[in-house]
Chains A and B, each alone.
Chain A
Amino acid sequence: MRLTIGYLYPSIMSQYGDRGNIICLLQRCRWREIDAQVKALEMGDKVDPSEIDLFFMGGGADSHQRLIAQDLVEVKGEAIRKAVEEGAAALLICGGYQLFGHFYRTFRGDDLPGLGILDVHTIHWAAEEGSIIKDITTAGKGRMVGNLIVEWQGKTLIGFENHGGRTYLGPKVSPLGKVLLGRGNNGRDGWEGAVYKNVIGTYLHGPVLPKNPHLADYLIAAALSRRYGQVELTPLDDRLEWEAHVHALQRARQAKGEAIAKTSPTGPKAWAHSLADRFAASLKALRPS
C-alpha cells in the first residue's frame, strides 16, 4: 500500500514543532511497511487532487498566515476541495485549521479569506473585544495558552494550545471533542476542533500525533480508505506512546493546579499562609543535612 502526504507550506507554516506530526505519520507507516511519501506544497505549487491522500498544515504567526492565505485559496483551493470531497483526509493545526474555515479576522480587524472547506470562522479576541495590542501583557491577556485535554471517541487527546483566535462552528461540521482541560475553540462553548468528512481541524500542538497514536492511526486508516477501502492496520508496540500520553495528562493537571494556586486565593489570609510556607521551607533549609 502507498500513501502520499501533502505538506502545505512546510517552510512557512511550521512554527510550533508541528512537523513532528509528519515524522510520526511517516514512521508509523514505515513500521507497517506502508510506502509513505511526503510531498511539499509550497507557495505557487499546484495540487493534483488524485495524488494526495492526506493533507497536513501546521500553525504559523499571523504574518505567515497573511503570506500564504491568497495562494491557498487561489492556487490550491479547488484541488484540495475536490480531493476532500472524494475522501482525502486532512489534519490541520491552529493556523491551518483557521485558514480551512471561511475567514480569520486578525487582531488588526481585517479578514484573511479561508478555503471554507470547514464550516467555521475565527475572530481574534482583540478584534472581537475592540482592544488594541501594545505590549506583551495586553497580547497575553486574551490569548489561549496552555495544556489542552480533549475527549475524543471515548479516549483522551493531549496537547498544547496557543492561539489568539476564537473559532466558531457552523452547522456543516461537528466538533472534534469535548474540552476536559484548557480552552479549546473559543474558551466558551466547551468544544475543541472541527470535523468534516475525513478532515480534522484542531488547536492541539504538542505535536499532537506522537502522544496520541490512536488519532495518528485513525488518520492513516482514513487516508488509505480512499484507495483501498476499509483497512485493518497492523497493531504497533505503543507502550512508550501511551506512557508519554499518561504522563502528559498528569503533568497538565498538575500544572493547572500550580497555576490556580498561584493566582486564585488572594487577600491577607492567603498571603499569611504563603509566608508561613516560606518560613517553614527556610527552617528546613537551615537544618544541617
Chain B
Amino acid sequence: MLSSVSPARALAVNVGKGVRWLLRRLGHGGTTLPGLIALYLYRPLIGDLGQAIPNGSLLVTGTNGKTTTTRVLAEALRQVGLMPITNREGANLARGIATALLSYANVWGHYRLPNAAIGLFEVDEGAFPEALAQLQPRIVVITNLFRDQLDRYFEVDFVASLWQEALAHLPPKTVLALNADDPLVAYLGETVANPVIYYGIEEVQLGQKGLEHAADSRRCPRCSVDLMYSASFYSHLGHYACTACGWRRPDPKVLAWRVQLGGLEGSCVDLVTPYGPKTFRVPLPGLHNVYNVLAASAAAFALGVEAEPFEKAMARVGAAFGRMERFKVGQKEALLALVKNPSGVHQVLNTILSQEDGKAGLLLALNDNIPDGRDVSWIWDVDMERLKGKISWIVVGGLRAYDLALRLKYAHLLQDQSNPVVLHVAKDLHRALDLALEQTPPGGRFYIVPTYTAMWELREELVRRGHLPPFWEV
C-alpha cells in the first residue's frame, strides 16, 4: 500500500512537517499542532504509517505514570539495539503521535524507517480506543486508573468500560501488561482472551491498613461488593480480594519482591521476572515510580528483553520532564512535580512528609484550562491537613489560586497555633515564583507542584531564567 503515492497523505505529511519546522524556528516545541493539521488533512495517517513500523508498536495508557513508563521502556529498548519512535514530549493525544510519525515520512508521504524501528506511544485514556484500533499494537501497557479530569471523562467506571470495549477488538496475539494491584485494570485481563502479563508489588510491609480518601475504586469490578485489602499501598492500589464472589488480585509474573524507599534519591528494588531475580536502583523517588519501572519491565519481558540491559537503562533514566525534576536555583534547591489529580498530589505529599521537618516551602499552582480540567473541585479530595508542621510557607498561584487558598484555610494550616503556615496568594505565576524564591534561604529547598498548563508556564519562565533546559533538549 505504501508503494503507491497518495496525494492526500503526501500533502498532509509535508504541510505537517512545514508547520513543525516553522514552530521550532520560532522557539516552540511544536509537539501537537503539526500532527493536528496533518490529521485534519488526512485522517488515516496514524494507521497507515504506524502499521508500517518494522517491529510493530507498543501502547502505554493509564491515568498516571505514562510518560515515565514510556521513557524507561524506550531506554531499555535502545539498550538491545532497537530504535524506539516515541511521542516522548508527553503530547499524548492522537495529534502527538501523528507529530512523532511525521519525522519518518519522506516528501512522497512514504515511510523511511530503519529495520530496528519500533513504535512506543503513550496515549491519553480517551484517545486509547482510537489509537488501539489504528495502530493494532503488539503490546498494550495499562498503568492504573485514577479519577482525573472528571469533566472530560466523567467517571472511572465509564473509562473502564470504554477500555474493555476497545480491548475486545484486539488482534489475538497482542499481549497485555496490566497492573495487578489496581482492581479496575487487573479486571480487564479477565475480559479478554489475549495473553496477559500482570505486574505488582509484593512488599506488603509498605502497605497501610485503610484506604486514603482519594481512593476511587473500593468495589469488586465483577460483583460490586466491597473489596477487602490486606495491604493498601496508595489510593486503591494494593492486595485485595472480594469477599462475595472470590475474585482476587491476580498473581503477578513480574514483581517487586522487596522495595526500600530511599527518599529523593530513589528506591532499591528486588525485581523478579520469569528470567530470574535482579536488584535495581530506581533513580526516581516514590512508590509510584516503582510501579512505572514494573510496568516497563513487564512490557520488556513481553518483548523478550531480559533484565540485564534493563538495569543499564535504569541508570540512564532521569525524571521525565516535570515529573519530580530536581534543579538548583543559585544555592536553592527546587523540586518540580506535575500533578493532575488527588492521587498525584498525595504522592508528592508523601515525599514531603518523609523528607521535611517544617523548613521547606511549597508553591502550588492550579489552572483550569481544558488540559488541566475545567473542574477544580478535586483539590478538596486532597488531604492538605497532612502538611501540618511539615512546611513553613505556601505560595498559591494560577488562575484558581484563590480556590487553593480557601482549601488551605479550611485545612486549618494557617491558624495553627503552634506552627502556622505563611500563605501568599499570587495568581500571576511569575510573581508566585518570585515569592517562592524570596522566601527560600540559601541552602533551602522548595517544592513546585503545578497542574498541566501551569507547569508549562512555570517551566518556560524557569528556562527563560536559565534554571532549566528547554524540554526538547531534555
Contact = CB atoms under 8 A, between A and B. Distances in A.
A241 B406 contact: yes
A61 B157 contact: yes
Contacts of A18: 377, 380
A238 to B, nearest CB: 10
Interface in A7-43: 11, 14-20, 23-24, 27
A243 B158 CA distance: 36
Given A20-B380, A162-B154, A282 B26 contact: yes
30 contacts: A15-B147, A15-B155, A16-B150, A19-B213, A20-B380, A20-B407, A61-B154, A61-B156, A61-B158, A62-B157, A63-B224, A67-B219, A135-B162, A136-B152, A145-B375, A146-B374, A147-B374, A162-B375, A205-B377, A207-B377, A207-B380, A210-B380, A240-B409, A244-B405, A244-B406, A247-B401, A247-B402, A251-B368, A255-B368, A282-B22
Interface string A224-260: 0000000000000000110110011001000100000
Interface string A123-143: 000000000000110011001
B379 interface: yes
Nearest to A143: B154
A11 B381 CA distance: 12
Interface residues of A, number: 41
B150 A211 contact: no
A206 interface: yes
A210 B379 CA distance: 12
Given A16-B377, A255-B374, A286-B26, 17 more contacts: A11-B218, A15-B155, A16-B150, A17-B377, A17-B380, A20-B377, A20-B380, A61-B156, A61-B158, A63-B157, A135-B129, A136-B126, A145-B375, A206-B377, A210-B380, A240-B405, A282-B22
Nearest to A145: B151
Contacts of B126: 136
Which 9 pairs, one residue from A and one from B, show the smallest C-beta to C-beta distance? Answer: A20-B380, A17-B377, A17-B380, A244-B402, A61-B155, A247-B402, A244-B406, A160-B375, A285-B26
Given A15-B150, A240-B402, A248-B402, A160 B377 contact: yes
A17 B378 contact: yes
Contacts, number: 107
Contacts of B152: 136, 140
B402 A20 contact: no
A109 B23 CA distance: 49
B258 interface: no
Contacts of B270: none
A148 to B, nearest CB: 11
Contacts of A136: 126, 152-153, 162
Interface in B397-416: 399-403, 405-407, 409-412
Nearest to B129: A135
Interface in B139-193: 147, 150-158, 162
Contacts of B158: 61, 139
Contacts of B410: 20, 23-24, 27, 210
B224 to A, nearest CB: 6
Contact of A251 (B129, B218, B400): B400
B103 to A, nearest CB: 22
A162 B378 CA distance: 13
A243 B375 CA distance: 18
Interface in A53-105: 61-63, 67
A211 B26 contact: no
A19 B162 contact: no
Nearest to B26: A285
A14 B155 CA distance: 12
B154 A205 contact: no
Contacts of A62: 155, 157
B21 to A, nearest CB: 13
B402 A205 contact: no
Contacts of B224: 63, 67
Nearest to A282: B26
Contacts of A251: 368, 399-400
Interface in B379-430: 379-381, 399-403, 405-407, 409-412, 427
Given A19-B381, A67-B224, A160-B374, A210 B406 contact: yes
A61 B150 CA distance: 11
Contacts of B150: 15-16, 162
B461 to A, nearest CB: 13
B27 interface: yes
Nearest to B404: A244
B18 to A, nearest CB: 13
B339 to A, nearest CB: 15
Given A16-B150, A143-B154, A162-B151, A23 B402 contact: no
A195 B407 CA distance: 28
A255 B379 CA distance: 19
Contacts of A24: 410
Nearest to B380: A20
Contacts of B377: 16-18, 20, 160, 205-207
B399 to A, nearest CB: 6
Nearest to B126: A136
Most buried by B among A27, A136, A206: A136
Contacts of A243: 402
A289 B111 CA distance: 39
A210 B411 CA distance: 12
A145 B157 contact: no
Contacts of A282: 22, 26
Contacts of A19: 213, 380-381
Most buried by A among B26, B155, B218: B155
